[in-house]
Every structure is written in structure tokens, then in C-alpha cells.
Structure 1
């Protein structure tokens, strides 16, 4: 009897199940299915598959950022050390003012504008040397500068070069004692045919020898101050090598530097200087930037007779700062 009643209820139960799943599974429909001995397919386990995808999406992306924090950028400042090319003489440079003087005297009453421009009074010259001493400059010779540019020892603090063209007697009378007073050195380029009274107003060999003993450099300014530009090679050899030989014979020290008369020269002149054993030459090009590549074209600053001490200091600082 019970069995018959169960079979008669089975179609009703199935109908309820189907109706319940059409509207969505409920707790009641689950119970009815269980009572009917059916296992409803569970949809909830499929949700676990979405969880697995979220686990795989965030693994090792953050560790990849850590290599970018490696301090490889800090060693790059070591590349700014440039002493390696500096050891090559052809690469050496120096920002060194080379001052150009001529007369150190009060110009005569009838002096023309050129003589006035080239004449620095002894009082002004001493004031200029005092300025250099107070500002901490260290005077060196042209040969000291060329030694450095050719791979020699380093230059002192705030180097500066004092050059005197032509060999006037007032260089010995006034400039030389003032330089000694401040313990400074200078480079004097002399016209050898004018020495020893062969032309009035120039130094003697005794003057030059005394100055050399005191540490001054005596350089060449040719035999008789000609314009060397486009002159035959033989002519230039005579003027350059000839004056060098005379100075070395009379003073007993090697001539290492040269000054171009009126600042004029050409490629032949430079070639003759090299072959004569002269290591450097000064020009009338304004500037302070010196280099081995232009060791025969060293730049200078012309010191004019009209300069006050303030002007003197201004132009040195101007060219030094400009790096020209």
C-alpha cells in the first residue's frame, strides 16, 4: 500500500522539481530532489575556477621593479675624471694670463700716441705688482708654462706670466728691482742687435746676465725686429736661430721662448722655431687660454699706459673668466 502511494507521488515530485529549477534552485527543491533520490548538479564549485585565475594574475610583477633601483648610475661621475687625456701632452690646456709690457718709464714730453700707449710708469707698474701679490697670483716664466704644456710638473696656484718686449734699458732700471722686491720672475724678449749700446735705450749684456742670475728668463725677439711674415725661410732661420745662438753664447742659458716682432708670423716661422729648439712663442692675440696645440701661439693681455690699477685688475679677470 505504501509502495503504491510512493509511486503515485513521484510524478508530482518531479513536476515540482522541474518547476523549481525553472525559477532557480531553492532549498525546498533541493530537499524534494533528495527525497526523489536524484542528485542535482551543483553550480557553486565552478566559482572556484575564478579564484584560481586571480591567484595567477599577481605573481612576480613587483620584483621586476627592483633591478631598476640598482645604484649603477653613481659610478658614472668617475668618468668625469679627465686626467687620462691630460697625460697626453697634446691635450694639455691652461687658463694663464700672460701680460705684455714694453716700456716701464715715464714717457718723454714729445711722445707720440704709440709711445704713450706702450709706456707704464714705474709707479703704476709697482701698483700693478702689488695688486698681483694681494690677489694671490704666482708669476712664472714662459718656459715654466711651456714645460707644463709639454707634460711637465703642475703649475702653481693662480699662475701669471709677465713678459717684456724689446729689451729697453728701463726694464733693467725699474721693472727688475720691483720684480725682485715682490720675489716675482719675468720673461724678457730682447732684440740682440740692439743690445750693448748698438742702439740707444736698450740693455747691455751685463744687465741681462745679472737678471738671468736672479731667475729672469731671457728669450729671443730676433736679431733686429723685422716683420717675419712671408719672408724666405733662410731669412727667418737667420733671425730666429741667429738671435738664439747669440743669447745662449752671452748669457749661458738655453733660449726656450720667442716673441714675434709686431705679432707677425706664418707657418714657416713656426717650423723654424721648432727646428731651432725653441719651445714656445708669444703673440699679440688677446686671451688667456693656452694649450699645447697652440704652444707657438700663446695669447697675451696688452697692458696699456693709460690703465689704472682698477683697469689692470678688470682686464685680467675679464679674459680669465671668458676663457678666450
Structure 2
């Protein structure tokens, strides 16, 4: 049984799998798995991938013995599920890791925006400037928080909001009325949430239904001066719409742990050299660059999940996914 782990560089993670999956041939490959980076070894029975891997039909077809793809993440939009299913290949994820981790990070971003903590720290560190000019923020207490997506992360965000004495409105394609009752919040339409909330935070998965959920048709429904937080997926927000809402001073600020086209932004020189991006994609990359430099925008490198506890949960669940599959009782299968 041969298992390939892609996009895994840290020695401690490799050691974890070596220690907990004895008796199997484990191969560790630092680079993400893509069509351009197929390994020389192709006879894997199981592959473990991460967020920058692109598991397309061509990639799946390249592994003739493949039986399981297990991603070390909750999201799996980088894996072609229908094609995997057509080849009788199971796909598993890590459904529960980091739900508290991401919720806590969301409030870190929220406080950094509402109290202008980043600008204040930067001013003191770089210019030794202790003046308060331009640094007045606002309290979260008694404000209305709009939570889009009330799964594990979203429900934890609701719980933390209660500690700040915030009012909570929520939107979800599948409302959980029992959760609303026990957590004392109301479900409403997306339009009403955007019109009412002082802060909007996104916690939806990415799929066809959530692509550009926040877009040029609805972003200006948001209250003037309100804040947008995105720790979900970059493609949930239309970058052009967000850019316009910010430069027109309609939104008070945005905190983004994810960006649309973020992979291309990281590898921009390679992208430009290949000249394979569409005009819209290149425009998005440009706007991402501009967003990074706007003072009312905080951008972090897709790290909301990145805590010691969450990382251990990822490793533990991935181990469980592999073992349960090999024992004939697969867990966390997403199709």
C-alpha cells in the first residue's frame, strides 16, 4: 500500500504520519500536486493533498491505482468530485478542524478593523508616533453582526458575538432553527442582513451557489461604513465589487484572510510570463494588489486555520480517514 502526501514540508508532520501509519509505504512531496507538477511516482493507492493542490481529471487519471483522495482541509473545491466519483475514487476531508480557531481569528480581524489596531501599531513601530489622530474606532457592543453561513465555524462566531453583547442576524441556505433558538439569533434574507448589519462575516463553503455571493448587485446594500470580514473562500466575494465599495468609501473597511485568485497572486510573475489568464482574472489580480495597500483593508495569508491545536486535528483526522478507508469503514467522505 503506497500513500503519497503532497504539499507537506514540515518535518514534524512527516514524523507524525511515519509514526502513526506503520507498515505502509509513505512518500512525502513538498510541492502542491498540479497538472504541471505530477511526480515521477504514480502508483499511489491513496493521496493526501492540501489547499494549493489542483486535483483535476488529468491529475486523477495519472494515478492508475488511486482509490482515495483525502484532503487535509475542510474545503474540497480544488478536487474534481464528479470525475473522482466516475472513477470510483472516494474523496474525504477534515470537516471539523479549526471551527473554534477560525471563529477566534474572525474576531481578531474584526477588532483590528473596528479599533484600527493595525494602523496604530504600525504608526508607533515605524514612526514612533503616539498621536491618536485618525485612530478613533467603534465598539462592537450593541452592534449588529451579520453571519453568513451557520455551520460549525459560523455557530462559534455567534457564540463569541454574544460575549461582546452583539445582536446577531444570520443567513444560511439551510437554516438551523434549533441553533437559532439556543443561540438567540434570527435568520433573515441575505438582502435584509446586508442592509442591517454593522459587520458582515462570511463562513460559507465555496461552490456554484456561493460564487460571488457578495457582488456588485448587492454590496452597496450594506450599511455605509460597515465592515466585511472574509475567512471563508476568496471567490465568495467579487473582488471588483469590493474594490469599488471601498474606494467609494461605502464600506468602512474589510479584513480578508482569503483572496479571489490568491494562488495566481502568489505566483504572479509565472502567470504573467505564461500569459494564460483571462482579462477578468488579471483585473482581479490587479485589484488584489490595490486592496493590499488600502489603509482600511487588512489582508492576511490564508492563516485563520493556522494554530497548533488545529494543525494537530488536521493530522489526526487525516490519519483516521486513511485508516478507516483501509479497514473498509470510510469516514468523512464528501461524495
Question: Shared fold (TM-score greater than 0.5)?
Answer: no
Greater relative contact order, per chain length (Cα 8 Å cut-off, separation 6+)? 1
TM-score, normalisation: structure 1: 0.31
TM-score, normalisation: structure 2: 0.30
